[in-house]
Amino acid sequence: MLLGFAALALLGGWLLLRALGLGGLSQGTRIACGLGALPLLLFAWTARPRVHRIEGARLTEAQAPELHALLRRVGEAAGVTRPVQIVLTPEANAFMGLHGPRREPTLGLGLALWYGLGPQERVALLAHELAHLKNGDPTRGGLVHHALTVLEQTVSVLWPDPIMEARATLPEKVGNLLLKGAALLPLGLAHLLLGLVGAGQQAAEYRADLLAARVAGSAAKAGLLDRLHMAHLLDSALHKQRHQPQRPHAFAEFRHMLDTLPPAQWQQARQEQAQHRVRLDQSHPHRRPAAGGAGVAQCAAAHPQQRRGRPD
């Protein structure tokens, strides 16, 4: 996929040179070369592999010395000694990635999830994410990562905007259908690539779960996964905090909901999650794909309305 992208980019550059006069072509041929070079170069620029940067507020050691100290202690127990920067996000999720030009390890901590966990479950979360630096993941970096980026950016450009699509006239609807048809190829290739590396993704998650259980204990790791299954309650907490506030903030309301959830509802969530454990297109065998973020259990979905960043 990357070689195909490079070939199209080089073809666009070659056509541009021909359009500018290389080879002594006729005026008409030069115009045709220019018209051919334009979409190829636009595609190459839009779908180019990117150095992904974290969206969130960076938390320095001066701002949170105890959290950074805990992260180092957990890293030592997990056998990970690389310095890791921390960024805060509002989601009920967490992720580990290599970001920026220097590929610095970055831990994304969702404040909602952090508030929803107990002390030892937080240790399990940190150990799980640090384990990804030790175990690796086929989509976390390298060629597969860049190939997925190219495909996802291509789909994002071709797929019509839902708001504009709802207001489209008949000719525009026809054009949108043609764009969706063109997007099916890169979308299918992305799903195919994810399917091919799906077993490796799940293996990486299982290894991270095992290491987290060794560091924090099996009960803490199981509790972490249980609470991740209930991440959707954050929406209810936000709604309740907006209209009938009873807690200091929405994250505290989210924690209260988790703490007072009936056992039957926990069991129902476990049974629902068990139905998804055999799917290879999910990076984590315990949880549904998280829309938009990368995390403990995010699927690297290729649909432009589902992804915002790289997988955990």
| Residues linked to residue 104 through DSSP beta bridges, in sequence order | 99
Q: Would strands 104-110 and 94-99 be described as parallel, antiparallel, or unpaired?
A: antiparallel
In percent, the amount of the chain with pLDDT more than 90 equals 32
In the chain, at which residue ranges do the beta strands (DSSP E only) sit? 57-59, 85-89, 94-99, 104-110
Q: Residue 301 — very low, low, confident or very high, per pLDDT cuts 50/70/90?
A: very low
pLDDT value, residue 278: 54
Three-class SS of residue 312? coil
Which of the residue ranges 39-53, 72-86, 189-203 has the most confident prediction, judged by mean pLDDT?
72-86
Give 139: exposed, middle or buried? Use CB within 10 Å, 0-12, 13-18, 19+.
buried
pLDDT value, residue 203: 84
Cα separation, 54 vs 116, whole angstroms: 22
Three-class SS of residue 18? helix
Cα separation, 123 vs 132, whole angstroms: 15
* 19-29 tens-digit pLDDT: 888 877 888 88
* DSSP secondary structure string for all residues of 198-226: HHHHHHHHHHHHHHHHHHH-HHHHHHHHH
CB atoms within 10 A of CB 227: 24
CB atoms within 10 A of CB 145: 19
* 254-295 tens-digit pLDDT: 999 999 989 988 888 888 877 765 554 455 544 333 333 333
* Cα first-last separation, the chain: 22
What interhelical angle do 218-229 and 119-135 show, nearest 10?
90
More confident residue, 17 or 164: 17
More confident residue, 197 or 212: 212
Question: Tokens standing for 172?
Answer: 């525009």
- Cβ contacts of 38 within 8 Å, gap of 6 or more: none
3 state SS for 221-287: HHHHHHHHHCCCHHHHHHHHHHHCCCCCCHHHHHHHHHHCCCHHHHHHHHHHHHCCCCCCCCCCCCC
| Residues linked to residue 96 through DSSP beta bridges, in sequence order | 107
Q: Do the beta carbons of residue 70 and residue 31 sit within 8 Å?
A: no
Q: Do the beta carbons of residue 15 and residue 37 sit within 8 Å?
A: yes
Indicate if the pLDDT at residue 252 is higher than 70.
Answer: yes
> Can you give the pTM of this predicted structure?
0.72
**Whole-number mean pLDDT of the chain?**
81
Question: Tokens standing for 131?
Answer: 């384990």
Q: For the chain, which residues make up each domain, given as ranges?
A: 2-46, 54-312
Which of 83-87, 154-158, 218-222, 277-281 bottoms out in mean pLDDT, i.e. has the lowest?
A: 277-281
